[in-house]
Amino acid sequence: MVIGGASCTVTFIDEHSWFGVVAGLHAKSEVLGEYKCREAWLKVQFRKDIWRLQSDCGGEYMGNEFSQHLREHGTVRQLTVHDHRLRTELPKRCNGILVEHVHAMLIDSGLPRFLWLEAMKFAMWIRNRTTTHALYGKTPYEVLYRVKLEIRDIHLWGSRVWAQSLTAGKLDPRGQEGRSAGYDGESKGYRVYWTDSRVVGVEQDLIFEDWSISNETILLPGPPIKRDHTKSTDSKHRVTMEGGPELKHEGSQNVFPKQRDPLLWKAGVSMGDS
């Protein structure tokens, strides 16, 4: 289990931008509700409709209510044949990589296992902001939002942090110790795990004990990213991926054009640590 009671996760990946979303679920029956939230998010924020949904033949996708919802919104369902995971390889592979990252972060930080969902969301946050060969050196965030990010001062997940205590007495310590649990998606704050109360909160002004990741080599759970100074033409250094897997796609060079209206979302469910 995890804080909040989630026992599994569902992963949605946009095939155009490769932007991924992971959400915790109490049961697989909640997949439809989470899909509706992502569908509304795309429509309101980007004015886009999901043209096709690709998944396996799991019961969470084949229910009558889910099928009726897809028909009402004109979304074409694409299913994989049993024992053939080629067409859903992207979400399955992504789930496997995220689990490996969670395993490494929990061991390195020494935090309890029930924080696995916080670690998985942070791993997805890193993935969406990491360049990939499939997008010709761009990040999923850059392709989706059409904004180029300059990431700096990323702190290690699980590092010790100190927040100012506003309720401390005159002789009490002014700082409250916690552990970094990633970034909050609804505010400009950090998620902090308080070891004494075993809850996760959101804080803004923190002091981190670790070194911020802004040096020459960005240490991420995966292939290292190095700044290439030799290929830079201006004051901003170009960031390139070294040692990462090269993903091949069938078709012409216009597999990922700059503007592409049809959206194909791929979904996959992963069971958490009980």
pLDDT at residue 236, as a whole number: 34
Based on the fold, state whether residues 105 and 24 are members of the same structural domain.
Answer: yes
Based on the fold, state whether residues 197 and 223 are members of the same structural domain.
Answer: no
| 194 in a structural domain | yes
| 100 in a structural domain | yes
| 232 in a structural domain | yes
pLDDT at residue 42, as a whole number: 93
Q: Average pLDDT in the 72-98 region? A: 79
Residue 250 clears pLDDT 70, i.e. is over it: no
pLDDT at residue 3, as a whole number: 73
Domain that holds residue 88: 8-152+215-271
Question: Which tens digit of pLDDT belongs to each residue from 176-227?
Answer: 899 999 999 888 899 999 998 899 999 988 888 876 554 444 444 444 444 4
pLDDT at residue 81, as a whole number: 77
Based on the fold, state whether residues 146 and 169 are members of the same structural domain.
Answer: no
Is-above-0.85 flag for pTM?
no
Question: Which tens digit of pLDDT belongs to each residue from 116-144?
Answer: 999 999 999 999 999 988 898 899 999 99
Residue 260 clears pLDDT 50, i.e. is over it: no
| 15 in a structural domain | yes
Based on the fold, state whether residues 124 and 186 are members of the same structural domain.
Answer: no
Write the burial class of residue 63 (CB in 10 Å: 0-12 exposed, 13-18 middle, 19+ buried). middle
| 92 in a structural domain | yes
Burial 64-82 (b: 16+ CB within 10 A, else e): eebeeebeeeebeeeebee
Q: Average pLDDT in the 60-81 region? A: 92
Residue 29 clears pLDDT 80, i.e. is over it: yes
pLDDT at residue 256, as a whole number: 37
Question: Which tens digit of pLDDT belongs to each residue from 140-167?
Answer: 999 999 988 877 778 889 999 998 877 7
Based on the fold, state whether residues 180 and 248 are members of the same structural domain.
Answer: no
| 1 in a structural domain | no
| 244 in a structural domain | yes
Q: Average pLDDT in the 58-67 region? A: 92
pLDDT at residue 95, as a whole number: 86
Among 15, 49, 27, 4, which residue's Cα sits nearest to residue 269? 27
What's the mean per-residue pLDDT of the chain? 78
**Which strand ranges, in their side-by-side order, compose the sheet holding 217-218?**
217-218, 225-228, 238-241
Domain C-terminal end among 169, 186, 208 = 208
Based on the fold, state whether residues 166 and 245 are members of the same structural domain.
Answer: no
Domain count, the chain: 2
Residue 242 clears pLDDT 50, i.e. is over it: no
Based on the fold, state whether residues 99 and 134 are members of the same structural domain.
Answer: yes
Confidence of residue 71 (pLDDT cuts 50, 70, 90): very high
Based on the fold, state whether residues 96 and 119 are members of the same structural domain.
Answer: yes
pLDDT at residue 83, as a whole number: 67
pLDDT at residue 171, as a whole number: 76
Based on the fold, state whether residues 128 and 20 are members of the same structural domain.
Answer: yes
pLDDT at residue 264, as a whole number: 66
Based on the fold, state whether residues 122 and 222 are members of the same structural domain.
Answer: yes
Give the start-end residues of each E strand in 104-237: 160-164, 175-183, 190-194, 199-203, 206-208, 217-218, 225-228
Based on the fold, state whether residues 128 and 200 are members of the same structural domain.
Answer: no
| 2 in a structural domain | no
Based on the fold, state whether residues 143 and 109 are members of the same structural domain.
Answer: yes
Which structure tokens are listed for 119?
A: 């670690």
Residue 59 clears pLDDT 60, i.e. is over it: yes
Q: What is the CATH number of the domain that holds 148?
A: 3.30.420.10
Q: Average pLDDT in the 91-114 region? A: 90
pLDDT at residue 144, as a whole number: 93
